[in-house]
Amino acid sequence: MQDGKPAFVVIPFDEYVRLFPKAPRRVPQGDAIPHEVVGLTVKKGYTLVRAWREYLRLTQAEVAERMGISQAALSQMEAGGKRLRKVTLEKLAAAMGIGIEQLR
């Protein structure tokens, strides 16, 4: 207690996250890619599509809805293995609010 008021509160982490959501991540201009995105591709082996989505704290469902595709289709894009067409990269970039060059 400090001055008759509680000094600390202990709550479950999930409740903390719900009550205090993180601020949106900053998207650099041009073709720059944040260190965190690069880290996800190197350390966890994520594709740039998945790394960007997770960095921006977006769900597959959110990005898929913005693109007008199914969540399953986005999941396949994130899995990699196939080169994505330019029109698909443009839709992905627009859905996540980043530049197309940041997905290459």
Q: Could you tell me the CATH number of the domain that includes residue 76?
A: 1.10.260.40
Write the pLDDT tens digit of every residue in 28-59: 888 999 999 999 999 999 999 999 999 999 99
Has residue 22 got a pLDDT over 80?
Answer: no
Q: Which residues contact 99 (CB under 8 A, 6 or more apart)?
A: 29, 30, 31, 93
Is pLDDT above 80 for 87?
yes
At 66, list the tokens.
Answer: 């913005």
- What average pLDDT does the structure give for the chain? 92
Structure tokens at 62: 């959110």
Q: Is residue 85 part of a domain?
A: yes
Q: Flag whether 45 is in a domain.
A: yes
- Mean pLDDT comparison of 25-29, 81-85, 93-97, highest-scoring range: 93-97
Q: Give the pLDDT score at 16.
A: 80
This prediction has a pTM of 0.78
CB 84 within 8 A of CB 91: no
- Residue 25 is assigned to a structural domain of this protein: no
Structural domain for 54, as ranges: 34-103
Cα of 21 vs its chain's centroid, Å: 14
The total domain count for the chain is: 1
Is residue 57 a part of any domain in this protein?
Answer: yes
